[in-house]
Structure 1
Amino acid sequence: MDVYQLAILFSVGFILIVLDLVRRRRLKEKYSLLWIFVGLLMLVLSTFRSAIEHMAAFFHVYYAPSLLFLVGLVFCFSLILHVTVVLSRLEDRVVRLAQEAAILREEIEQKAVAERGNKG
């Protein structure tokens, strides 16, 4: 089994895993589209050896299959950066919500104390 056949098997397996994760609702559709696109891109590049070899020659890559892994690695880094940005936004929102909840709790406690004082 050569590298291209291994890449084809990996790509098909990867796409099937993504589809199964969506089916079991462990991965949202909006994220799965990106993963499926990359899986299909890797599948196409693995299937058409001449295309990847021409691209490798253009970029002066001596071992053409390594370009497949470079494409995958660049995608992974891009996705990690995107997820980090989303996580940062969510962290800010959680802090803001916790602060608002604390303010509301304090207001409720102050009103409860004031009502007890008026009754006594």
Structure 2
Amino acid sequence: MKAYHLGLIGAAIALLVIFEMLRRRRMREKYAITWVVLAVFIVLIAAFPGILTWAADLTGVEVPANLLFFGASLLLLAMNVQLSSEVSRLEDKVRTLAEELGLQRLRIEQVEHVEKSGAAEHEPAHDGTSGDVS
């Protein structure tokens, strides 16, 4: 089996996994687009290996595989930074929502306390005697 066959099989499997994750709503579309573009790029490189050789000649890299690994490393770094940014943003959002929830619970408890104490003031006092005259 030649290397480009392996690339085509890997890209096909990646596309199937991505579409299945989308179908099951395990991945959002904004992330899937990146992976689909990457899989299509892998298909192009696997189907037309001359593209990688041409790009290596253009950039002055002697071994085309080195250019591929360098590009993949940069892509992984960029995706890691982007996902770290997304996680940080979501952590801030969760913290803010937790604080708002805590404040809402405090307000509810204060309202319930005021209602309880207001209801206790309006109840008649019980002194142990009944109002009936026998």
TM-score bucket (shorter structure): 0.7 to 0.9
Question: In structure 2, what is the equivalent of residue 5 of structure 1?
Answer: 5
Q: Distance in 1 between matches of 2:10 and 2:66?
A: 15
State the Cα deviation string for residues 19-76 of structure 1 (Å, max 9, x = none).
1211222112222111101110121122212111011122232221332333233222
Map 1:1-120; keep pairs closer than 5 Å: 1-120=1-120
Give the TM-score, by structure 1 length: 0.87
How high is the sequence identity, in percent, across the aligned residues?
27
Q: CA RMSD in A?
A: 1.7
**1:100 CA displacement:** 0.8
**1:12 CA displacement:** 1.9
In the comparison of the two structures, how many residue pairs are matched? 120
Moved beyond 4 Å, runs of 4+? none
Q: Distance in 2 between matches of 1:8 and 1:95?
A: 44
Greater RCO (CA < 8 Å, at least 6 residues apart): 1
State the Cα deviation string for residues 78-100 of structure 1 (Å, max 9, x = none).
11211111111111011111111
Unaligned runs of 5+ in 2: 121-134
